[in-house]
Amino acid sequence: MNNRVSEITDVIKNSKNILIVTHVNPDGDCIGSALALKQIIEKEFQIKAQPVIQGKVPEIYEFLPQVESFKTVSELKETDFDTVISVDCASKERMTDAISLFDKAKETINIDHHKTNPNFGKYNYVHGHASSSGEVLCSMFKEENVLLDRDIANCLYVAILTDTGGFRFDNVKAETFIAVADLMRYGINPSLLYRCCYESKPLPMVKLSAYAVSKAEFLFGGKLAYTVITLEDLKKNNALNEHTDGIVELLRQVNSVEIAFVVKETEQGYSKVSLRSKNVDVTKISSLFDGGGHSKAAGCTIKKPYLTAVNKLLEASKQLLGI
């Protein structure tokens, strides 16, 4: 059950030191939503809010307002936070190194849009029908009659834009465009923000995408497509982990493909998996490995080497496709 927005607002108002937690390998929705929430809390309630990130901000989002305010968990280990807010985390495990900070906080708030979210916070505001956590925040702010500014609106727009694939995915609803219309009133520039997110890719990202697609496998009459990205592949293309974003969508674009997945080798020797589909519910696959997500866009981490992970994913995909 979700808490009322007023309950969550009261918790924030009565806080002294707030931490905003993102998920591992944060995307545009996660980054944009966290920055928007930070700015709203500080502007509306005059309470310091510190966003935390696992690793670093992806290069393509470095243009966002106050992006330099992110800190790592190691930089915060001596700080006590009475309230911790998780944003866009489908499960508590997605917070990785920040879980301990979440667990020891007096108040915890969970704001998300993943239908698989188990409501792990003391206070929860999770709407699985929403396109993005950015859209969830828009509805919360609107209900509380909170006035935004252009910087906050830019962050929220990028959150929505990127989690809808430029408004191409079927998670887009009428409410999504209503939220965007409200953001437009603050003077944002959609054309510029689109270029920043989709037409300003670093060369290693483009080269890695081309390489990964070139070695993709197409099975079951072309219904399934997958590719593996190893640590050696990243090194060979002078690429970073963040440069793998978007590759699974390229595979899904093939007209015969029903399920696409990308398996990325991690430093620990595990396999990070991104799943996409056109019509089937890929959370039925991700949930087998304690993952989550949406029906047509999900993910998980399989604590096995990538060859083992691929075999497990192929078997699960065959069953889902009825092959």
Alpha carbon distance 188, 152 (integer Å): 10
Listed in sequence order, the DSSP H helices in 46-132 are: 99-103
**Do 276 and 138 sit in the same domain of this protein?**
no
**147, 174, 198: which is the final residue of a domain?**
198
- What was the pLDDT predicted at 292? 84
Same-domain pairing of 285 and 168: no
Sort strands 297-302 and 292-294 into parallel, antiparallel or unpaired: antiparallel
Amino acid at 315: E
Confidence at residue 80, expressed as pLDDT on a 0 to 100 scale = 85
Q: Are both 59 and 189 inside the same structural domain?
A: yes
182 and 313 share one domain: no
pLDDT at 55: 81
Within this chain, do residues 84 and 121 fall inside the same structural domain, yes or no? yes
Alpha-carbon distance values, 171 to 130, 142, 164 (Å) = 7, 20, 7
258 and 187 share a domain?
Answer: no
Sequence-separated (6 or more) residues with CB below 8 Å from residue 108:
83, 84, 85, 86, 102, 120, 121, 122, 123
Number of domains observed in the structure of the chain = 2
134 with 160: CB under 8 angstroms? Answer: yes
- Are the CB atoms for 114 and 128 separated by under 8 Å? yes
Tokens 């998670």, located at residue: 171
Question: Do 245 and 188 belong together in one domain?
Answer: no
The pTM of this model reads 0.89
- Same domain assignment for residues 241 and 276: yes
Q: Which of 173, 198, 223 is the last residue of a domain?
A: 198
The reply to whether 136 and 228 lie within a common domain is no
Kindly state whether residues 113 and 86 are assigned to the same domain: yes
CA dihedral 167, 242, 40, 4 (to 10 degrees): 70
Domain of 283, CATH number, reads 3.10.310.30
Look at residues 162, 182, 198 and tell me which one is the last residue of a structural domain: 198
Q: Any long-range contacts for 39-45 (C-beta under 8 Å, 24+ apart)?
A: 39/65, 39/66, 39/149, 39/151, 39/152, 39/155, 40/137, 40/141, 40/146, 40/148, 40/152, 41/12, 43/149, 43/152, 44/146, 45/12, 45/13
- CATH of residue 63: 3.90.1640.10
Determine if residue 172 is left, alpha or beta; phi over 0 gives left, psi from -120 to 50 gives alpha, anything else beta.
beta
| Stretches in the chain below the pLDDT threshold 50 | none
Residue 44 CA: distances (Å) to CA of 36, 229, 271, 322:
12, 44, 41, 52
| 212 and 98 within one domain | no
Query: Could you list the residue range(s) of the whole structural domain that residue 40 is in?
Result: 5-198
**Spatial contact of 35 and 100, defined as CB atoms under 8 Å apart:** no
The span from the CA of 285 to the CA of 277, in Å, is 11
Q: Quick one: 191 and 238 in the same domain?
A: no
